[in-house]
Amino acid sequence: MADQIGFIGLGIMGRPMALNLRRAGHALWVHARRPENMAPLVAAGATACASAREVAEHSDIIFTMVSDTDDVEQVINGEHGIVEGLRPGSIVVDMSTISPSATRALADLLETLGGEMLDAPVSGGEKGAIDGTLSIMVGGKAKVFARVRPLFEKMGKNVIHIGDNGAGQVAKACNQVVITQAIAAIGEAYLLAAANGVDPRKVREALLGGFASSRALESHGLRMLDGNYQPGFKAHLHKKDMRIVMESATETGIALPGTALVTQLINTAVGQGMGEDDSISIFRIQQKLCGVQVDRQED
Ligand code: NAP
């Protein structure tokens, strides 16, 4: 019989990812705290479950896409969690961005209980989730990865087995080191242009044709100029990612001074009430800091 698939957490990312699995014809058992988040999945033929435990009772492979480390721990090991309904040999695939060390502990727990775990955080944003073009960074055993790979390929285009449990989360932390500094660097370039009376849109056009070009400049760079702070990727989740990065740097005893600096901008954006806005809101903080307005919506 074909694998029964479970999916828990149907927010900005989880909903379109689960829909792509359902559209590929997989039997799907879903759970979200808010019933309205399950409605589009149920309309597409998935079965709504009252708890993570109920999803686990029906599923061979269970995907989780929730917010933070505590949330994944709760969904897996909390009351009415996956552990209570885990079938022997079932695989839990956590696609949230959480702590690498907590991931390793959860993988050990599931193994003790006769299950398996992969960490498989993603990059590519809401658009990548909708289009099924995410980059998926996977940690866990090679044979478990091989079994889940066909499902990953329904959600992503760039599916890489990085290493053992936790390695996927480390890769995602590295992704956030790069993307956060890229957003901040784009903001600084726009401010420098504007402060010199030069049109930042023209600067962006020029940069897109050279070595400074990037997906961040294409996508985030345009939304920054348009003052479009609709999430996307919520600033409070980005703050959480930077906490994970900095904790991981502390655990391993390395210095990430550039990352530490931009983390302050994210913290401030959330502190100023922008947590539910897109994480490019750090550009609003940069503009305030410089007393220079570049985007269209600042007042
Ligand atoms: P989101 O829209 O806020 O969705 C998160 C979902 O998880 C919500 O529906 C929430 O339920 C559910 N949830 C949170 N804690 C839970 C718990 N303890 N038990 C049950 N459900 C819980 O966030 P998202 O943008 O989809 O992000 C999900 C994960 O993907 C995060 O780890 C994020 O860092 C990562 N990520 C996001 C992006 C992006 O561009 N958005 C890109 C890459 C990775 P409620 O609605 O009831 O609160």
Sign of CA dihedral 70, 73, 75, 79: negative
* Pair 108, 191 in one domain: no
Residue nearest to atom 18 of ligand 1 (CA): 71
User: Domain count of the chain?
Assistant: 2
Residue ending a domain, choose from 105, 140, 163:
163
- pLDDT interval class at 297 (50, 70, 90): low
Query: Is 146 in the same domain as 214?
Result: no
Indicate if 113 and 37 belong to the same structural domain.
yes
Q: Are residues 127 and 12 in the same domain?
A: yes
127 carries an active-site annotation: no
Q: Considering the candidates 172, 234, 239, 240, report the single residue annotated as catalytic.
A: 172
Helices (H), 156-166: none
Counting other chains too, the contacts that 121-124 makes at CB distance below 8 Å and 24 or more residues apart are 121/94, 121/95, 121/96, 121/97, 121/168, 121/169, 121/171, 121/172, 122/13, 122/95, 122/155, 122/156, 122/172, 123/172, 123/175, 123/179, 124/156
Residue 115 lies in a domain: yes
pLDDT tens sequence across 70-119: 999 999 999 999 999 999 999 999 999 999 999 999 999 999 999 999 99
57 contacts 204 by C-beta, under 8 angstroms: no
- What DSSP state is assigned to residue 137? E
Distance 278 CA to ligand 1 centre (A): 14
CATH no. for residue 41?
Answer: 3.40.50.720
- Check which CATH number belongs to the domain holding 234 and give it: 1.10.1040.10
Residues 125 and 249 in one domain: no
Which tokens sit at 288?
């305030």
With beta carbons less than 8 A apart as the criterion, state whether 203 and 193 touch. Answer: yes
Provide the domain limits for residue 159: 5-163
Tell me the mean pLDDT in the region 196-225: 98
The reply to whether 279 and 259 lie within a common domain is yes
In the prediction, which pLDDT does 296 show? 79
State which ligand 1 atom lies nearest to the alpha carbon of 10: 9
Name the domain boundary from 129, 147, 163: 163
Q: Give 133-162 pLDDT, tens digit per residue.
A: 999 999 999 999 999 999 999 999 999 999
Question: How many Å lie between the centroid of ligand 1 and the Cα of residue 129?
Answer: 13
Q: Is 128 in the pocket of ligand 1 (CB under 6 A)?
A: no
Determine the distance separating the centroid of ligand 1 and the alpha carbon of 9, expressed in angstroms: 6
237 Cβ inside 6 Å of ligand 1? yes
Model confidence at 2: pLDDT above 90: no
Whose alpha carbon is nearest atom 30 of ligand 1?
Answer: 96
Asked whether residue 138 falls in the same domain as residue 19, the answer is yes
Q: Does the CB atom of residue 37 touch ligand 1 within 6 A?
A: yes
User: Is residue 156 domain-shared with residue 227, that is, in the same domain?
Assistant: no
Please check whether residue 297 lies inside any domain of the structure.
no
**Centroid of ligand 1 to alpha carbon of 96 (angstroms):** 7
**Same-domain status, 90 and 205:** no
pTM of the predicted structure, to 2 decimals: 0.95
Q: Are residues 44 and 152 in the same domain?
A: yes
Identity of the residue numbered 258: G
Q: Do 80 and 177 have their domain in common?
A: no
Nearest CA to ligand 1 atom 7: 66
Q: Within 13 Å, how many C-alpha atoms sit on residue 199's CB side?
A: 4
Kindly state whether residue 295 falls inside one of the protein's structural domains. no
